[in-house]
């Protein structure tokens, strides 16, 4: 009630503000631009608040508070006053209309949905014109619907049919909070987010896996100490690299045959297994 009363007061004040003749508007604009005369700015903006209210009313069907739309329109009005060039001999209302509309539309795009959309000029045109075009095509002498309607709208706004279909689905369904209960009662039913499926492991599983990995690394590091220098080199090159070296390549590097490399590797693996089992006899399942 309080907001409605404030809006009515604002509208009455806007309608009571006198219109500006062209000469007076020009004089006030010059005073503001050259002298930063705040009184001149106040007169210009007050005289054009009815334009802000009129523009805001055209966007009330988006479901946002009218007071907020008017405030955003006023921001656009002030931006227009800051950028207006009176020497171009254009009426201020003509220039300000674009800034008022742009400010209101930006506010709607930021607040209409929790999902940000309409970031390009084409998407903005689609967002603000889809309903109007859809109503016109569905109520004409030869109503159009479905894919044919999407095709007509896409052609009119120079966007893809897929963009039209996606925007249509967004405008047709409201946002749903993940914290909203599934049932409209007080039974303490689960929230929507309780039924979201996550492929990631649970926190306790992640911690358990991390601890096991660290334990295995420690065991392996200790077991490697039983190997000779050449055995250790072969195991590192063959088993502990993402792409293990071939027997032939290692044989060439060490100056031995590839068969000899295979024999040393087999013996080293046996020594490692024995060392791991000796250190962790009660955890033999961990030893590969």
Which pLDDT tens digit goes with each residue over 223-279?
A: 888 888 888 888 888 888 888 888 888 888 888 998 998 999 899 899 888 888 887
- CA 266 vs. chain centroid, Å, equals 55
**Is the whole model's pTM more than 0.75, yes or no?**
no
Per residue in 100-142, pLDDT tens? 998 998 888 888 654 455 556 666 777 776 667 777 777 766 6
Q: pLDDT value at position 139? A: 73
Q: pLDDT value at position 218? A: 85
Q: If you average pLDDT over every residue of the chain, what do you get?
A: 79
Give, in words, the CATH class of 1-112: mainly alpha
pLDDT band at 285 (very low <50, low <70, confident <90, very high): very low
* Residue 141 CB contacts under 8 Å (≥ 6 apart), including other chains: none
CATH number of 203-286: 1.10.10.10
Q: Give the start-to-end residue ranges of the domains of the chain.
A: 1-112, 117-174, 203-286
User: What mean pLDDT do residues 6-29 have?
Assistant: 85
3-class secondary structure per residue, 14-33: HHHCCCCCHHHHHHHHHHHH
């Amino acid at each position: 009630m309080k907001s409605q009363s404030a809006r009515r007061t604002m509208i009455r004040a806007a309608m009571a503000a006198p219109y500006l003749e062209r000469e007076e508007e020009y004089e006030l604009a010059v005073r503001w631009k050259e002298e930063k005369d705040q009184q001149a700015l106040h007169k210009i903006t007050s005289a054009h608040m009815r334009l802000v209210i009129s523009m805001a009313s055209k966007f009330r069907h988006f479901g946002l508070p009218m007071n907020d739309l008017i405030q955003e329109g006023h921001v656009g009005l002030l931006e227009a006053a800051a950028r207006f060039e009176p020497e171009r001999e254009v009426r201020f209302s003509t220039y300000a209309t674009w800034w008022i509309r742009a400010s209101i539309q930006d506010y709607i795009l930021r607040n209409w949905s929790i999902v940000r959309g309409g970031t390009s000029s084409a998407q903005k045109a689609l967002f603000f014109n889809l309903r109007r075009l859809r109503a016109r095509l569905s109520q004409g002498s030869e109503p159009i619907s479905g894919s044919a309607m999407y095709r007509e709208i896409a052609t009119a706004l120079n966007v893809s049919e897929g963009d039209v279909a996606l925007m249509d689905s967004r405008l047709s369904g409201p946002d749903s909070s993940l914290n909203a209960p599934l049932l409209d009662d007080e039974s303490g039913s689960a929230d929507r987010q309780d039924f979201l499926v996550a492929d990631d492991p649970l926190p306790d599983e992640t911690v358990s896996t991390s601890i096991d990995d660290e334990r295995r690394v420690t065991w392996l590091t200790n077991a490697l100490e039983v190997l000779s220098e050449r055995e250790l080199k072969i195991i590192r090159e063959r088993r502990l690299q993402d792409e293990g070296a071939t027997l032939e390549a290692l044989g060439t590097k060490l100056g031995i045959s590839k068969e000899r490399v295979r024999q040393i590797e087999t013996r080293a693996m046996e020594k490692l297994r024995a060392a791991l089992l000796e250190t962790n006899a009660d955890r033999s399942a961990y030893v590969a």
